[in-house]
Structure 1
Amino acid sequence: MEKHFELDDETFEAQFADCSLKPSLFSHSAHLRLAWIHIKKYGLDAAIDHMCDQIARYADSLGAHDKFNKTVTVAATKAVHHFMQRSDSDNFQGFIQEFPRLQDDFKGLMDAHYDIDIFALEEAKRMFLEPDRLPFD
């Protein structure tokens, strides 16, 4: 089990927002969980804004300015939202069990939407690039 699950949603969100979350806890799964929390609390549009602002700030706090990728952050949030609309779960652990592809094959999922490599392209890091294959709903 991922270490970030040792924190309840409120503590996890608060520690991330104030940049006190241990870097070892911010895995891909934690990124998805943060999107899930933000979508639940604030709706998709505000969640995207929160995610971009907080992840960029968190990366800066760690001296990892080049790690923030706006396209990946927005796309991940939109993907989580897409699956949340089809979910019966009321918690993130149940949600990710329903849709393990988000965690286990995220790159493959993004490849269905993008012909370009959004993980490496510098332009994708700076600004959100719309999918050139399959749009997010």
Structure 2
Amino acid sequence: MEHRVFLRQLEANALPASDFNHQAHLYAAWGYRRDYPAPEAAARCAHTLSRFAMANGEAAKYNHTLTMALLAIAYSRVASNPVLADDWQAFLNNCRDLAQDARAVLEQHYSSERLSADSARKAFVKPDRKPLPVSCLLN
């Protein structure tokens, strides 16, 4: 599905929650980054994912820190290789680790205790292991 159609359906809560798997999360992240600078893309993506979770009775599953950390990592890769913003398959290939085991990537930056804390679900919490590549979200 074309990314703008997908994002409109996601924003309208028209996608079945059962079909919104991890790869769909990455597609949303990529779609927003394709159309917006990284800071705006991250804000839009996080807002949409939070609203989608609430609309589907899964608000407790949304974790703002997890979302923003994954966006920072993914968007830093786009910043270092801009062609990834235009090619979903290239993005997916370049972010294979995020697609296959995002938890392992996050554990380089966060302990499980910090990432699963209630405070991390509600607001962004800085990593306790290794800094995130956030420069892409500042420009």
Q: Does 1:46 align with 2:40?
A: yes
What is the Cα deviation at residue 118 of structure 1? 5.0
Alignment of 1:92 onto 2:72: no
Higher helix share: 2
Task: State how many pairs are aligned.
Answer: 131
Unpaired stretches in structure 2, ≥5 consecutive residues: 134-139
Distance 1:16 1:23 in 2: 10
- Sequence identity, in percent? 26
Spell out, residue by residue over 1:13-56, the C-alpha distance to the aligned partner (whole angstroms, 9 max, x if none). 11001111111221111111111111221112112211221111
The corresponding residue for 1:127 is: 123
- Of 109, 115, 138 in structure 2, the residue corresponding to residue 113 of structure 1 is 109
**Residues 52, 118 of structure 1: CA spacing in aligned structure 2 closer, same or farther, 3 A cutoff?**
farther
| CA RMSD across the alignment | 1.6
> TM-score of the superposition, structure 1-length normalised?
0.86
In structure 2, distance between residues paired with 1:118 and 1:50: 24
Match among 28, 35, 49 for residue 34 of structure 1: 28
Q: Which residue number corresponds to residue 65 of structure 2?
A: 71
Structure 1, gaps ≥5 residues long: 1-6
Q: Displacement, 1:91?
A: 1.5
Partner of 1:24 in structure 2? 18
Task: State the distance in 2 between where 1:69 and 1:100 align.
Answer: 21
TM-score computed with the length of structure 2 as normaliser: 0.85
